[in-house]
Amino acid sequence: MNRVLIILLLALGTASTLKAQEPDSLQRDSTQKTADSLAVGTADTTASETRRERRQRERKEQEAKEQEQVVFKDSARLALEALSNRPWKQSLMVPGWGQITNGGWWWIKVPVIYGGFVSAVLVFEFNNRYYHDILKEVQYRVNNNNAIPPNTKYPWLKADQSTTDYMIRAKDNYRRNRDLTVLVTLGWWGLQAVEAYVNSMLKNRWDIGDELGVTVFPTLLNNPASPLAYQPYAAGVKVSFSF
């Protein structure tokens, strides 16, 4: 009887102990889960804030680099650049206009520029005139078995195939020279614009000083001995530049 009571008491005590321990384990599990979730949330927040800060830092660095690359120019520098770029644009529109704007020796440069254009026109007219004259002569000879045209400008040429071939080559040469004259004229136009630009840069952007000078004076130069005549000295000209 006593053994039965003891066993019952032990069973009741074990059951009560198990019931008392179940809430504690459940509470510990829930507490652990809450702590884990809070840790994960904190880690995510820290990571997102780090990425945000990194993006902000990269953006600020990029803005700083762009600001370093920007060159701020004052009004005086902008005025000098406009003054330097004006002459070559004027010369492209009207040859010699930029040289007049630059001043200096424009009264020599402008006649030289227009003298080049006049020469180009004369050369073009010369080659074009002879090209068309010989072209008519060649066309008549080819169509009439190398015969001489009735109103020919070259009556001294023979009526044979070799003369016709010679005139064909001459015609091609005059045409080539005429076309080259057009290219040379365009180059001359661009060259005078380049001269206006360089002169404006030297005048407005670069200071080469006021002491630059050129001195030309006659002198005697040493002359090597000649087997025909003995001339120890020869007359010459010496040019000196001062900077």
Residue 21 lies in a domain: no
What's the predicted TM-score (pTM) here?
0.56
- The per-residue DSSP string of 147-203 comes to PPPTT-S-TTS-SSHHHHHHHHHHHHHHHHHHHHHHHHHHHHHHHHHHHHHHHHHHH
Residue 109 lies in a domain: yes
pLDDT, tens only, 153-205: 888 888 899 999 999 999 999 999 999 999 999 999 999 999 999 999 888 77
Total domains in the chain come to 1
Q: What is the average pLDDT value for the chain, to the nearest integer?
A: 78
Residue 239 lies in a domain: no
Residue 230 lies in a domain: no
Q: Which residues pair with 238 in a beta bridge?
A: 217
Quick one: 146 exposed, middle or buried, by C-beta within 10 A (0-12, 13-18, 19+)? middle
99-108 mean pLDDT: 92
Residue 110 lies in a domain: yes
Residue-range definition of the domain harbouring residue 179 = 78-209
Residue 27 has pLDDT above 80, yes or no: no
% of residues, the chain, pLDDT over 70: 63
Please provide the size of the chain in residues.
Answer: 243
Residue 236 lies in a domain: no
Residue 218 lies in a domain: no
Residue 73 lies in a domain: no
